[in-house]
Amino acid sequence: MRSEVTQPMKASGKSPIKLDFRNEKSHLLDKIVPILLFLCAALSILTTIGIVFTLITETFQFFQKVSIMDYLFGTKWSPLIDPKSFGVLPLLSGTFMITIIACIVAIPLGLASAIYLSEYAHKRVRKIIKPILEVLAGVPTIVYGYFALSLITPLIRGIFPDTGVFNALSAGIVVGIMIIPMVCSLSEDAMSAVPRSLRDGAYALGATRFEVALKIVVPAALSGIVASAVLAFSRAIGETMIVTVAAGATPKLTADPLESIQTMTAYIVQVSMGDTPHGSIEYGTIFAVGMTLFIITFLLNILAQYVARRFREEY
Amino acid sequence: MQTLIEINKLNLFYTAFHALKNVSLKIPEKAITAFIGPSGCGKSTLLRTLNRMNDMIPGTRIEGTIAIGGTDIYSNEVDVETLRKKVGMVFQQPNPFPKSIYDNIAYGPRLHGIRNRQQLDEIVENSLRASVLWDEVKDHLKRSAFSLSGGQQQRLCIARALAVNPDILLMDEATSALDPISTLKIEELAQELKDRYTIVMVTHNMHQAARVSNQTVFFLNGEVVEYADTEKLFSNPSDQRTEDYISGRFG
């Protein structure tokens, strides 16, 4: 550095140093890549729009032939046999019975295992168990269906001999088992995110591990836990294979979980697999039922997001 | 002054790391004792042995004894939760629970079985008065603790610790995250509290130790270099390393 230079440099063009800032490489890729990526994103959105559009038009056509009031409030569902009847309540009650049984199984067990993993388990244990749980979430649901049929149902029939081969209880329990990993994993994430300093604060007051878990960690992670429960609920509603295999095909407005029922999803499978002619009213039912299902799960997912945001305890 | 805490030939290891070396100290009751020294000298580690918060760190091993009021706190007959109730702690970062101001203070008493509403109200008021926060928050006890400023949050945490009626209050760099005015308030508070509580504070700010404490312990590399009345330690240290540290030659 020469010390006599005190004036700031001006762009006079007389600088003795020559630097070239012109483009050295092609920017073609930089221009194409965002377009390609956008197309990929657009494709998935377009597909969704297409699906919803089909659902809506087909459902609309269906409701021109069948009164929407009969559909929503009718208590008998027999679209395939005369006299035809299109009351969706039996399917809805079947679906909700499965869902409620599943949640009774999955939420306490999932939450308990999440508390264990986040508050009690040794680091090494957690490192082993968490991936296993996530693998469990990848088991094909048809396998769970046979698990229900060949293991849980005989167990239930051992206790209640009048139980049918196909029943809501067995399918509900197994749907619950299937969603435990999801509840556990999401709740555990929420609990692990609770800062160490909050736990220390409680320990320093003489709280036991259990008190810290129950009175500090769970309340602080409540938004994540509730969101995981709502998502579990939504997942149970949409579950198809287990209920098709194990819950039966008898649309029935009943409160007895030991009876055979039919869920909305299982009904859609039944019609799509059968020889119902395209374009008939019978065929239209699956779009109406599908639309009903779509609206319910859609609302639940929105609820889950709202809950996660609204009830966030700040820390 | 009577000795309340007696640490005898204490050695502490984090797996292979020798964090405290042969520490022996007698800490008097109803006074402020400050631990000073550069980062990593073991002062916080020693503080955390006093309420056994180190128990939760895997791989911690302890030799020697720490007696509080004549009982070895690492012996089998000591219940850790009861110990922590009697030896309260305030942390470096204010860590109020995500609850209301009231529930923050009532958390400890509830934990230890107090359910009576009137009794809880009393404890909350007394604790907040003791930490000089009452006048600022008495009209909105139901508000979230996060609505308070950092300094207020720290005084809330002190009140929370006092609510379970401890004998000893440990302060782990309790002002290092605060602005100078809040720091001053906490220091004044500590002065007031020492008539009723035995206070042990870790500070990396030696001026704070000089201002506030009655005794000062200087740590270096896990050892006690010098332990004396604060006035003497800062005006006439007997160890060269102490003098180097307090005159700012290192640390």
Which chain B residues touch A123 with a CB distance below 8 Å?
58
Nearest Cβ partner for B95 among A197, A206, A208: A197
**Weakest mean pLDDT among A76-80, A156-160, B125-129, B189-193:** A76-80
Q: How close B57 comes to chain A (CA, Å)?
A: 11
Tell me if A149 is assigned to some domain: yes
For chain B positions 182-211, those within 8 Å of chain A (CB to CB) are: none
Tell me if A191 is assigned to some domain: yes
Tell me if A49 is assigned to some domain: no
**Weakest mean pLDDT among A199-203, B166-170, B203-207, B240-244:** B203-207
Q: How confident is the model at residue A1 (pLDDT cuts 50, 70, 90)?
A: very low
Amino acid identity for residue A276 in this structure: T
pLDDT, mean of residues B25-43: 93
Nearest Cβ partner for B98 among A204, A211, A220: A220
Tell me if A209 is assigned to some domain: yes
**What gap in Å lies between CA A244 and CA A48, rounded to an integer?**
25
Question: Chain A within 8 Å of B55 (Cβ-Cβ)?
Answer: no
Number of domains in chain A: 1
Q: Is residue B250 left, alpha or beta, with left meaning phi > 0 and alpha meaning psi from -120 to 50?
A: beta
Q: How confident is the model at residue A5 (pLDDT cuts 50, 70, 90)?
A: low
Residue of B nearest to A202 (CA): B108
Secondary structure percentages of chain A, helix, strand, coil, to 5: 70, 0, 30
Q: Helices (DSSP H) in B92-179: which residue ranges?
A: 101-111, 117-130, 134-137, 150-162
CB contact under 8 A, B56 and A203: yes
What is Dmax (Cα atoms) for chain A?
104
Question: Chain A within 8 Å of B114 (Cβ-Cβ)?
Answer: no
Q: Tell me the pLDDT tens digit for each residue of B135-150.
A: 999 999 999 999 999 9
Which chain B residues touch A197 with a CB distance below 8 Å?
91, 93, 95
Domain spans of chain B? 3-95+166-246
pLDDT at A25 over 80: no
pLDDT, mean of residues B220-241: 93
Nearest Cβ partner for B111 among A195, A206, A315: A206
The pLDDT value given to residue A4? 54
**Weakest mean pLDDT among A10-19, A121-130, A299-308, B26-35:** A10-19
Q: How close B249 comes to chain A (CA, Å)?
A: 34
- CA distances in angstroms from A262 to A97, A106, A286, A298, A304, listed in the order given: 10, 21, 13, 21, 26
The pLDDT value given to residue A169? 95
Amino acid identity for residue A221 in this structure: A
The pLDDT value given to residue A115? 95
**What gap in Å lies between CA A117 and CA A158, rounded to an integer?**
34
Pairing of strands B215-220, B223-229: antiparallel
Question: Chain A within 8 Å of B78 (Cβ-Cβ)?
Answer: no
**What gap in Å lies between CA B139 and CA B25, rounded to an integer?**
44
Tokens of B211: 């201002």
Phi, psi of A75 (to 5 degrees): -105, 10
Tell me if A75 is assigned to some domain: no
pLDDT, mean of residues A54-79: 90
Question: Chain A within 8 Å of B82 (Cβ-Cβ)?
Answer: yes
Which chain B residues touch A202 with a CB distance below 8 Å?
97, 107, 111
Phi, psi of B107 (to 5 degrees): -55, -50
* Strand residues in chain A grouped as ranges (E): 77-78, 85-86
Over pLDDT 70: what percentage of chain B?
Answer: 100
CB contact under 8 A, A200 and B95: yes
Which chain A residues touch B146 with a CB distance below 8 Å?
314
Tell me if A74 is assigned to some domain: no
Tell me if A225 is assigned to some domain: yes
Question: Chain A within 8 Å of B138 (Cβ-Cβ)?
Answer: no
Token look-up 């990993």 returns A181
* Domain topology for B3-95+166-246: Rossmann fold (3.40.50)
pLDDT, mean of residues A240-257: 89
The pLDDT value given to residue B230? 95
pLDDT, mean of residues A303-312: 78
Tell me if A258 is assigned to some domain: yes
The pLDDT value given to residue B24? 95
| 3-class SS of residue B92 | coil
CB contact under 8 A, A201 and B51: no
pLDDT, mean of residues B53-58: 88
Q: Tell me the pLDDT tens digit for each residue of A206-215.
A: 999 999 999 9
DSSP one-letter code for B145: G
Which chain A residues touch B157 with a CB distance below 8 Å?
201
pLDDT at B133 over 90: yes
CB contact under 8 A, B85 and A206: yes
Q: Tell me the pLDDT tens digit for each residue of B184-213.
A: 999 999 999 999 999 999 998 889 999 999
Residue of B nearest to A222 (CA): B98
CB contact under 8 A, A203 and B164: no
CB contact under 8 A, B107 and A205: yes
Nearest Cβ partner for A204 among B89, B96, B112: B89
**What gap in Å lies between CA A239 and CA A83, rounded to an integer?**
29
Question: Chain A within 8 Å of B160 (Cβ-Cβ)?
Answer: yes
Phi, psi of B177 (to 5 degrees): -100, 10
pLDDT at B161 over 60: yes
Q: Name the β-bridge partners of B100.
A: B144
- CA distances in angstroms from B150 to A297, B147, B177, listed in the order given: 43, 9, 8
Range of the domain at A185: 90-263+297-310
Q: Name the β-bridge partners of B27.
A: B5
Amino acid identity for residue B118 in this structure: Q
**What gap in Å lies between CA A40 and CA A34, rounded to an integer?**
10
DSSP one-letter code for B250: -
Give the domain CATH number at A248. 1.10.3720.10
Token look-up 């139980």 returns A163
Q: Which residues contact B21 (CB under 8 A, 6 or more apart)?
A: B11, B42, B221, B222, B223
